[in-house]
Structure formats: C-alpha cells, structure tokens
C-alpha cells in the first residue's frame, strides 16, 4: 500500500514532543512490513544544522499565496525503508524555533503550516504519487484532508487525521480564509466555522475519512464536555469514524540494553546496570544515591499537572526522596519551578530540552511522575517503564490505558483527584514500597510489558486496509 504521512515534526529531524516520536517511528514500522511509505515535514533550521547530509532533489513546488508564488525546495533521506521528504521554505521555516520563540508563538503559524500542506499536495499531484492513504497529524496538517476534498479530489486517496492533542486546534481569530488558501464560501461549506472563528482541526474531523486519537480512553474522553475542548459534540456526532489506537515507543531508540546515552546498560534480568546509572547520575548532580529518585521529563504546561506539583511542593521537602524535573515552559512557569529548587533541598530543576539528559534520567529514575490533567496517550510513562521506573500517574487518557494501580493487580500508582494532596498521597504510597521485594518485582514487570510500535503500527494498517477496501473480509 502507498502511504503518505504529513506532519510538522518527525524525530530525529525535529521534535518538541510526542508527535515527533510517533511520526518518526510509525512510518518506519509500516515500511518494514512492506508498505511504500513517505513522510513529509518542513525543513527547519534545526534540521538543516543537524542533518547537513540530506539530499537536495532536482525539483521544486510552488504555492499560490496572497503575495504571489511561494517556492519550496525539497530534500530527501531514507530511514529504515521509509522516505522522509523535507519541504524547504526559508522565509517560513528558517527560524530559531519550531512553533515559537521566547515562549511566544509565531504570529504567522497559520500561514507557515497551511502553505506547507498545500506544497505537500502540489508535490503529490505533480509527481503523480497516487497514495492510497494520506495520513495527516495534528492541526498543523489539518488542512490536508480539507484541501484534498476541495482542490485535489483527483488524488483519489482516503484521508486519515490523527488528533495527538485536542488542546491544540489551530483556531484563528481575525484571520481571513484567504490567508490559509481557502475561499470565504468554505468557512461554512467545509466546516471551518467555530463560534464565528476559523478552526482548522474541526474541518479536518469533518473532511477526513477516518479520525484517530492516540489511545482508546482518550477517544472516549474527547466526546465529553470535560475533555472535548468544545468539540465534544462534533466528535460524538462523528464517533462512527473515530478510533483510539494506543501509541507505542521505538524500542530501537528506547532500549536500556543498548542506549548510547547511558554509561552502563541493563535489562529486566539483570538490573545491576540500572543501579550504576543511578549512582552515576546522583554523583554528577550531588544527590544521595541511596534515596529513591522521582523523575519527571515534560513540557512544563498546565496539561501536565504542574499546578498539582506546585501545590504539593511544600510537602515534597518532607518526603525521603529526591525529585528531578527536566522540562521547559513559559518564562513564568520556568521561574516558578526554579523557585522550587531554591526552596526545597531535595528538588532539582533542569530547565531546557535535552534528549541525552532525558535518556540518562529515565535510566536513573526509580519512579516516574505524570500527574497530567489530560493525556491523549503519553509516551514518557511508556519510556520510563521500559527503563524500569515505576509510574505514578493520574487516571486519564492514555495513562489510564497503560498504568494500572497495584491495588488492582497492576504495576503503578494511580490517582484521580486533581489536587496536590492526592498527588502527594500517591507519592507516599509509592515510596512506602521502595526497596521491597514487591518493588523489585514491579520493576521487572514494567520493563517486560510490550509497549512497542509494532502493535500500534499493525493496528493502524488494519484500519487503512479496511478504509481502502483492501481487506477482502470486510
């Protein structure tokens, strides 16, 4: 089957969060099982700097924008059989950030990503790529199914749209339809209208042939007012084409047995290396290695439950454990977290984004904290488990699908109320088993559960086959 993915980030070429992990991994697995897979992403400055070896193609595409014609050049590389195509347009993408700079979103993000979507479709059409499936991810690629239905119906493919996080919908205030390559009549006609403004994700839900979210629980939750971000009614109405497919992680990247970022290696059968990784980390950061280490690696955004952490903070000092937070948020939030570090002797806060450090921290962690208010899937808890850290998580979305409490024969610590008190109570519950036989059994258990991409990719392909009528049984 010919499959094309369109997204705004793909690991390792660009990454701000879990979306990149998914788009960097899912296509490779699809290629591995014999499909013809292409991934289309923008060429950011960071990609160019880190991957100067990408091959410039002898072709260009143009997009009609209000000021004239905009030119895109294309670069290419192959990873494990999947083709990655990078769309270069320096005015739009040669910037220090991917979506924002100094905590401030770029004001022309709608133009950047709508032009990119149009360039992708122009390329597909003019190179006669003829995909069976065109799979767009998140609001940045939401116009793919919309443009395809309106302007590119001759690319006779089925469109799939994945909502990785419903909190980000590409809502445009005081922007014209023309600025995103559409006409006034499409405002209502193609379903972009959202309380008088433009909503690109909403239109994608309406126009795509299949809509997926990244966990079964989240697929249910988005149909409720509490989690639906005002689209719950629409999603409920479209439930017949909505499915939740649990994400997985790339076991070739996330493997404590081979991870190049770790000084020592280990597996479920022999955890002596994990102890050494922890000691090494503790020495480097001046922490007592005998104490349990509780780690969180995350965007410091409201979604991730940071208010619960800030509320619980005064109590953290009383816990006989060290806490390490690696993350980045707005300047204000970063400052609040830095404040924790100066007030609480057992809290370390590392502001910034570091892939290497994240691996070392997953390796060193005894427990992994994920108190999200909502969580479409969450990859961090899956990575943490793979590295032998016991999850402490809120009961929501993908966390509810992947972390079960030990009181119901599970392998983690789960709580529901969104309060600092509930979080702290659960942390104490977790700490109470640290070092016991039960704890060691849990570490082995979480390391052995299969959260790999193989399962997710196979399930996604089954949906593609059903959609394009290739599954003869249906």
- Binding flag, residue 305, ligand ADP (CB under 6 A): no
| Tokens 């992947």 sit on residue | 402
Taking the least distance from each CB to ligand ADP, the nearer of 151 and 168 is 168
Taking the least distance from each CB to ligand ADP, the nearer of 21 and 401 is 21
- Binding flag, residue 391, ligand ADP (CB under 6 A): no
- Binding flag, residue 388, ligand ADP (CB under 6 A): no
Structure tokens at 29: 């697995």
Alpha helices in 299-433 (DSSP H): 306-316, 331-343, 355-364, 380-386, 397-402, 420-431
* List 328, 385, 394, 461, residue binding ligand ADP (CB under 6 A): 328
Q: Is 250 helix (H, G, I), strand (E, B) or coil?
A: coil
List Cβ neighbours of 34 (8 Å cut-off, separation of 6 or more). none
Return the number of other C-beta atoms located less than 10 Å from residue 202's C-beta: 23
Closest to 329 (Cα-Cα) out of 297, 361, 358, 357:
297
Phi-psi region of 80 (alpha: psi -120 to 50; beta: other; left: phi over 0): left
- Binding flag, residue 8, ligand ADP (CB under 6 A): no
- Binding flag, residue 298, ligand ADP (CB under 6 A): yes
- Binding flag, residue 393, ligand ADP (CB under 6 A): no
List Cβ neighbours of 189 (8 Å cut-off, separation of 6 or more). none
Which element (helix H / strand E) includes 329? strand 322-329
Q: Check: CB of residue 409 under 8 Å from CB of residue 389.
A: no
- Binding flag, residue 18, ligand ADP (CB under 6 A): yes
* List 222, 234, 326, 446, residue binding ligand ADP (CB under 6 A): 326
- Binding flag, residue 356, ligand ADP (CB under 6 A): no
Least gap, CB of 20 to ligand ADP (angstroms):
8
| CB-nearest residue to ligand ADP | 18
- Binding flag, residue 396, ligand ADP (CB under 6 A): no
- Binding flag, residue 25, ligand ADP (CB under 6 A): no
Least gap, CB of 75 to ligand ADP (angstroms):
24
- Binding flag, residue 297, ligand ADP (CB under 6 A): yes
Q: Is 322 helix (H, G, I), strand (E, B) or coil?
A: strand
Taking the least distance from each CB to ligand ADP, the nearer of 140 and 380 is 380
- Binding flag, residue 355, ligand ADP (CB under 6 A): yes
Q: Is 367 helix (H, G, I), strand (E, B) or coil?
A: strand
User: Where along the sequence are the contacts to ligand ADP (CB under 6 A)?
Assistant: 17-19, 21, 297-299, 326-328, 353-355, 358, 377-380, 383
């Amino acid at each position: 089957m010919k499959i094309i993915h369109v997204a705004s980030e793909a690991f390792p070429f660009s990454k701000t969060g879990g979306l990149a992990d998914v788009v960097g991994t899912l296509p490779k697995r699809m290629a591995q099982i014999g499909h013809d897979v292409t991934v289309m992403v923008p060429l950011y400055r960071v990609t160019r700097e880190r991957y100067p070896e990408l091959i410039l193609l002898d072709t260009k595409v143009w997009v009609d924008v209000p000021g004239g014609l905009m030119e895109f050049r294309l670069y290419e590389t192959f990873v494990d059989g999947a083709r990655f195509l990078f769309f270069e347009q320096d005015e739009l993408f040669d910037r220090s950030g991917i979506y924002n700079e100094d905590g401030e979103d770029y004001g022309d993000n709608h133009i950047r990503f709508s032009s990119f979507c149009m360039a992708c479709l122009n390329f597909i059409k003019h190179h006669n790529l003829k995909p069976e499936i065109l799979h767009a991810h998140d609001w940045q690629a939401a116009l793919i199914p919309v443009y395809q239905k309106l302007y590119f119906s001759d690319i006779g493919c089925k469109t799939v749209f994945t909502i990785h996080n419903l909190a980000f919908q590409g809502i445009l205030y005081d922007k014209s339809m023309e600025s995103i390559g559409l006409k006034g009549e499409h405002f209502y006609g193609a379903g972009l209208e959202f309380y008088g403004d433009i909503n690109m994700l909403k239109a994608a839900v309406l126009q795509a042939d299949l809509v997926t979210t990244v966990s079964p629980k989240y697929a249910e939750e988005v149909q409720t007012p509490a989690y639906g971000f005002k689209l719950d009614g629409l999603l409920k109405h479209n439930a017949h084409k909505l499915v939740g497919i649990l994400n997985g992680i790339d076991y070739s990247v996330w493997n404590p047995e081979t991870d190049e970022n770790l000084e020592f290696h280990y597996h479920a059968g022999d955890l002596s290396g994990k102890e050494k990784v922890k000691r090494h980390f503790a020495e480097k950061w001046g922490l007592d290695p005998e104490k349990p280490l509780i780690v969180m690696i995350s965007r410091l955004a409201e979604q991730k439950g940071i208010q619960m952490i800030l509320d619980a903070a005064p109590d953290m000092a009383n816990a006989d454990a060290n806490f390490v937070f690696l993350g980045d948020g707005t300047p204000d939030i970063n400052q609040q977290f830095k404040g924790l570090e100066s007030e609480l002797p057992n809290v370390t806060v590392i502001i910034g984004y570091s892939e290497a450090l994240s691996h070392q921290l997953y390796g060193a962690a005894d427990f992994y904290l994920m108190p999200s208010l909502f969580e479409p899937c969450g990859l961090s808890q899956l990575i943490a488990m793979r590295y032998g850290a016991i999850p402490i998580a809120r009961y929501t979305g993908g966390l509810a699908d992947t972390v079960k409490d030990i009181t119901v024969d599970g392998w983690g610590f789960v709580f529901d109320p969104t309060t600092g008190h509930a979080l702290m109570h659960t942390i104490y519950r977790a700490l109470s088993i640290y070092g016991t036989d039960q704890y060691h059994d849990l570490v082995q258990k979480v390391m052995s559960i299969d959260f790999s991409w193989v399962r997710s990719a196979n399930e996604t392909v089954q949906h593609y086959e059903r959609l394009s009528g290739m599954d003869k049984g249906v």
